[in-house]
């Protein structure tokens, strides 16, 4: 998302929040989907694939969206310059 005034710093801030949110929630989703089946169903040999293919990527996507929303709501308002 590039703003009309071309504020690259604000765009980089938005991307940073989105990436960090994706990494955090993606990591939690991956660990829950990878370790959860090992603990609760140790006889299921394909259980860890849940974390690799489903909960990890979905967590990353959800985290990136939530991180971008947080960045938009925490966006500093530019100062108003009166002529």
DSSP annotation of 2 reads -
Is 68 a member of any domain? yes
Is 8 a member of any domain? no
Q: What is the overall mean pLDDT for the chain?
A: 88
Is 82 a member of any domain? no
Domain count, the chain: 1
Answer yes or no: are the C-beta atoms of 34 and 44 closer than 8 Å. no
Judge whether residue 2 has pLDDT over 60. no
pLDDT tens figures, 6-42: 678 888 888 999 999 999 999 999 999 999 999 999 9
Q: Tokens 């991956």 correspond to what residue?
A: 30
pTM (predicted TM-score): 0.81
Is 29 a member of any domain? yes
Q: Which residues, including other chains, have CB under 8 Å from residue 10's CB and lie 6 or more apart?
A: 3, 75
Is 56 a member of any domain? yes
Is 83 a member of any domain? no
pLDDT tens figures, 63-79: 999 999 999 888 666 66
User: What range defines the domain where residue 60 resides?
Assistant: 18-73
């Amino acid at each position: 998302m590039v703003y009309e005034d071309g504020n690259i710093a604000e765009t980089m801030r938005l991307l940073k929040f989105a990436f960090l949110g994706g990494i955090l929630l993606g990591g939690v989703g991956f660990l829950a989907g990878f370790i959860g089946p090992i603990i609760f169903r140790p006889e299921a040999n394909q259980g860890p694939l849940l974390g690799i293919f489903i909960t990890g990527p979905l967590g990353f996507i959800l985290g990136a969206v939530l991180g971008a929303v947080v960045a938009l709501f925490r966006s500093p308002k530019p100062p108003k310059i009166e002529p």
